[in-house]
Structure 1
Amino acid sequence: MDYIDITIPLSEKTPVFPGDPEVRFNPLVRDGFRLTSIELSSHSGTHVDAPLHYIEGGLSVDRIPLGRINGESIVVDLRGTGHSSGFITRGDIPEKTNGAKILILNTGFSPESSGMDRYMSINIECAGYLADCGYTCVVTDAPSIESFDGDGTVHRILLGRDVYIIEMADLSHVSPGRYHLYAMPLKLEGCDGSPVRAVLVPCSKEV
């Protein structure tokens, strides 16, 4: 089985959303063994947003149904679409998904070339459309599913309708097509999100 790792490595060089805590590794060596104290936010690197991230009383990451963020998915290549607004619209979403329940948006984001405040995000209409389509999870390579100056509406639409969000996936080496997504968050009790280890396995079905 071929595994395609779409997880961004976590290190002190990992880019973070502006204003979020930086990742810090503090190695401790004593009595002949080594361990590391790690400082990071619940939304560092490739991570899942739990409803609690934006919805008061929403599910925390330890309670989200793992079946909602694992399963058959479709990767859509949005690189070079050239939207001057920077928004992904309903018209960018393919109608034919052959039952894939997870949508993966490859926007070509690169923090080195774009910066963490410039990326493609979905607009409010598109968020509602994705929820209406029955997707259980939306994955993006961007720092956020929502625009940098967004007010949280996109997150609330998706999370409020049980559509989970995975952000900052590494899709630079992923071709459009159909895959099975495996994404496992840490079981952080009462927390609003968690880093995930996410991998794709190509499906034999045609898209």
Structure 2
Amino acid sequence: MESLSIIDLTHTLDPDKMSIYPGDPLLACCPVTTIPQDGYAVNSLSLGTHTGTHIDAPSHFIANGTTIDQIALDMLVARPALVVDLTYKKPETKISWDSDLAKYKERMKEGVILLLYTGWSAYWATPAYMDYPYLDKHAAEQILLTGVKVIGLDTLSPDQIDGDEGYGVHEVILGTGGLIVENLTNLKALAELQQEEGATMVSIVPLTLKDCDGSPVRAFGWKA
């Protein structure tokens, strides 16, 4: 039986090599016991719900919104993916519907996870990572009209930091019960895989954190 080639779309959680949204908790992973001293190893882990590659649940911005433990896994596991190449976008420019996304409309539909590939993961853990292209609010509205409910990006956020539209994209997507996946990586490999025959599939697996607004994830893709 031929082995399945998996593309990991997840940044390593490394306290020394991280990009963190301004004001969010820092990542810490500290030894509590060690094999030489205690015979077994345990670490304490401290991080925010939006650390590294992660998913936003509606309750991140919507009062009484769905929490991460209430998300149906069939929205996120073994779903067809559409990778849109936006690597031509410049720092701090808008990703618009008419200019950038409308041409893919026929491939956007319910059940498809839309992945916006900007190439910005190359700047992970550097100051340049904060100057990413961001999604226009109108574009987010148009995406949702196609039936897409899960949108992923290889950037820190779909909204510009301190931008004129505030958290408008978050509010639009999460307000309809949609989900946002941030800080993906290796979308170039997935985009290349998409050119081959067969369906491009992804899984995005959060922790079951009771009443939480998001979770770090392990995200990965493959060709069916």
Same fold (TM over 0.5): yes
Matched, 1:181 2:189: no
In the TM superposition, residue 174 of structure 1 has moved relative to its aligned partner by: 3.1
State the Cα RMSD in Å: 1.8
Point out the more displaced range, 95-104 or 126-135.
95-104
- Which of these residues, 27, 34, 37, is aligned with residue 31 of structure 2? 27
Alignment partners' CA distance in 2, 1:112 and 1:174: 22
- Which of these residues, 173, 195, 199, is aligned with residue 216 of structure 2? 195
Alignment partners' CA distance in 2, 1:117 and 1:179: 29
Alignment partners' CA distance in 2, 1:49 and 1:146: 13
Matched, 1:96 2:106: yes
Partner of 1:135: 148
Residues 97-135 of structure 1: CA deviation (Å, up to 9, x unaligned) = 175611000111123565342101111100100111110
Q: Equivalent residue of 1:33, what SS?
A: coil
Alignment partners' CA distance in 1, 2:218 and 2:176: 24
Richer in helix (by share): 2
Matched, 1:46 2:57: no
Alignment partners' CA distance in 1, 2:14 and 2:21: 15
Specify every segment of 5 or more residues in structure 1 that has no aligned partner in the other structure, as ranges.
none
Alignment partners' CA distance in 1, 2:92 and 2:153: 17
Residues 119-163 of structure 1: CA deviation (Å, up to 9, x unaligned) = 011111001001111102000000001111242211111011122
Report the residue type matching 2:214 in the other structure: G
TM-score normalised according to structure 2 size = 0.84
Shift in CA distance, 59/184, structure 1 to aligned 2, threshold 3 Å: same
Matched, 1:6 2:9: yes
Q: Equivalent residue of 2:22, what SS?
A: coil
Alignment partners' CA distance in 2, 1:66 and 1:136: 13
Report the residue type matching 2:82 in the other structure: I
Shift in CA distance, 189/122, structure 1 to aligned 2, threshold 3 Å: same
Larger-Rg structure: 2
Alignment partners' CA distance in 1, 2:94 and 2:66: 28
Shift in CA distance, 98/22, structure 1 to aligned 2, threshold 3 Å: closer
Residues 55-94 of structure 1: CA deviation (Å, up to 9, x unaligned) = 0000110001222233111111100134x76111102111
Point out the more displaced range, 127-136 or 111-120.
111-120
Shift in CA distance, 179/120, structure 1 to aligned 2, threshold 3 Å: same
Over the matched positions of the two proteins, sequence identity in percent amounts to 31
Partner of 2:176: 161
Structure 1 stretches of at least 4 aligned residues deviating more than 6 Å after TM superposition: none
Specify every segment of 5 or more residues in structure 2 that has no aligned partner in the other structure, as ranges.
none
Alignment partners' CA distance in 1, 2:108 and 2:46: 41
TM-score normalised according to structure 1 size = 0.90
Point out the more displaced range, 11-20 or 168-177.
168-177
Alignment partners' CA distance in 1, 2:207 and 2:125: 28
Shift in CA distance, 85/167, structure 1 to aligned 2, threshold 3 Å: closer
Partner of 2:116: 105
Q: Is the 8 A contact 1:69 1:136 kept in 2?
A: no
Shift in CA distance, 183/85, structure 1 to aligned 2, threshold 3 Å: closer
Shift in CA distance, 108/160, structure 1 to aligned 2, threshold 3 Å: same
Partner of 2:83: 75
